[in-house]
Amino acid sequence: MQFATISLKVLYNESRMPSLTVENYLKAILQIELKSGVACVSTGHLANALDVSPGTVTSMLKTLAESGHATWRPYEGVTLNESGRQVAMRIVRRHRVIELFLVQTLNLTWDQVHEEAENMEHAVSDFLIDRIDDFLGRPEVDPHGDPIPARDGALRGGTLESIPLVEYPAGSHVRFARVLNQDPEFLRYLSDSGLVVGSVATIQEVDAEAGSVTLQLATGETTLKHSSAEHLLVEILPQAVTANDESQVVDL
Residue 24 belongs to a domain: yes
**Band of residue 124 on the pLDDT scale cut at 50, 70, 90:** very high
Of 145, 221, 150, the C-alpha closest to 187 is 145
pTM beyond 0.85: the answer is no
Q: Virtual CA dihedral for 97, 26, 121, 151, nearest 10 degrees?
A: 40
Tens-place pLDDT, residues 183-204: 999 999 999 999 999 999 999 9
C-beta separation of 117 from 102 below 8 A: yes
Low-confidence winner among 33-42, 66-75, 110-119, 154-163 (lowest mean pLDDT): 154-163
pLDDT, residue 1, reads 39
For residues 184 and 121, membership in a common domain is answered with no
Task: From 98, 129, 158, give the residue that closes a domain.
Answer: 158
Percent over 90 (pLDDT), the chain: 80
What CATH number does residue 204 fall under? 2.30.30.90
- Show Cβ contacts of residue 40 under 8 Å, excluding neighbours closer than 6 positions: 76, 77, 78, 79
For residues 40 and 58, membership in a common domain is answered with yes
Of 65, 67, 127, the C-alpha closest to 97 is 127
pLDDT at residue 168 above 60?
Answer: yes
Residue 142 belongs to a domain: yes
Residue 99 belongs to a domain: yes
Instruction: Domain count for the chain, please give it.
Output: 3
Residue type at position 95: H
Query: Residue 55 and residue 148: Cα distance in Å, rounded?
Result: 32
pLDDT, residue 107, reads 96
Residue 252 belongs to a domain: no
C-beta separation of 144 from 110 below 8 A: yes
User: Average model confidence (pLDDT) for the chain?
Assistant: 88
For residues 146 and 198, membership in a common domain is answered with no
Percent over 70 (pLDDT), the chain: 86
pLDDT at residue 27 above 50?
Answer: yes
CA 231-234-240 angle, to 5 degrees, is: 150
- Domain with 149, as residue range(s), is 90-158
Residue 248 belongs to a domain: no
pLDDT, residue 36, reads 86
What CATH number does residue 49 fall under? 1.10.10.10
**Band of residue 35 on the pLDDT scale cut at 50, 70, 90:** confident
